[in-house]
Structures are given as structure tokens and as C-alpha cells.
Amino acid sequence: MSKFKTINPYEITENPFKLIGKDWALVAAKNGDYCNMMTASWGGVGIMWNKPAAFTFIRPQRFTYGLMENDDYYSLCFFDESYRDALKFCGTQSGRDFDKAKECNLTPVFNEKAPYFEEAKLVLICRKMYAQDLNGESIIDEKLVSPQYSGDDYHRMYISEIVKVLTK
């Protein structure tokens, strides 16, 4: 039986700055019964088009990017501190080279529209509503460009509806 229960996005009590920026998330996406995940510490949650929304930023060179592009759904999974090493691994190694779930002893679950992990403490199931690449011409603060972007690798921004929230 699943250890998770569904809650309303408005019932999430954790601080999103800490959750995303300090604790980090795993972004998980699938192709059939294969799933890959990568660590993300940029992005946000809020409201867009009157819906609970997640804002996720993925560089095109990530293996996860291809999976995100192939499906309308992905998840943001949050873990307690004991999974820090797993998040470091998923943020420095690629699914092109490793079965990251196996390497990190994480258990993918496929009973929602996006894959997630049994070990997570909080899961946001996200449905893509909008995607757009950031571009150099639109950056107002010029100082951001050179430390962040060396070539044509601007993040793709996904604005997604949070369609389900799972917690324990």
C-alpha cells in the first residue's frame, strides 16, 4: 500500500525557498517504464493562469531535457537530508552514463502520470502548460550572462500546473 497521501497544494507548509534552493529537488521524467532524474535548485512554485504552478528551468544539454520534451508530465521530488548524497550524485552524473535510480537506491514509482520516488517526502506531479527558452536579448541584468551562460545553452523554462501533491 502506498505510504503517500494526496494533499492540496495550498496545504504545503514548507518554505519554498528552503525546499528548492537549499534542500534541492529531483526532477523526474520518463519514457515508457524508464525514468531518469536530475537535481534542480532553481525554479519556483506559485500561481499562473489561476492554477497552482511550478516553474522549472532545464538546460538543453541535460539528458532529462529530452525526457521532459517527450512527455507532458514530470515530477518534482523532495527528500529529507539523509538523501543529500543521492541528490549530489543526480546533480553531477548523467542518465546517459548511469541508471541513477539504481546507483542511488531510489525506487521509481509509475502509478501517476509522472514517475516519482518511494523515498521522497513530498512530490509535485507537474503538467507542462508552457515552455520557452530563455534568450540573451531578454536578459536585463547583463552581469548574469557570462557567469551563467557560456554558449547557446540557455535554460528552457517550463511553467507547469501542479496537478497532484503527494506527501507522507
Ligand X SMILES: Cc1cc2nc3c(=O)[nH]c(=O)nc-3n(C[C@H](O)[C@H](O)[C@H](O)COP(=O)(O)O)c2cc1C
Residues that bind ligand X (CB under 6 A): 24, 36, 38-43, 57-59, 62-64, 91-96, 155
Cβ atoms within 10 Å of 33's Cβ, excluding its own: 8
* Burial grade of 131 (CB within 10 A; 0-12, 13-18, 19 or more): middle
Q: How far apart are CA 110 and CA 1, in angstroms?
A: 14
Cell 515552455 appears where? 131
CB of 137 to ligand X, least distance (A): 21
CB of 50 to ligand X, least distance (A): 25
Closest CB to ligand X among residues 4, 56: 56
3-class DSSP assignment, residue 159: strand
Closest CB to ligand X among residues 25, 123: 25
Amino acid, single-letter form, for residue 62: R
Q: Which residue number places its CB atom closest to ligand X?
A: 91
Closest CB to ligand X among residues 44, 168: 44
CB of 97 to ligand X, least distance (A): 8
CB of 86 to ligand X, least distance (A): 11
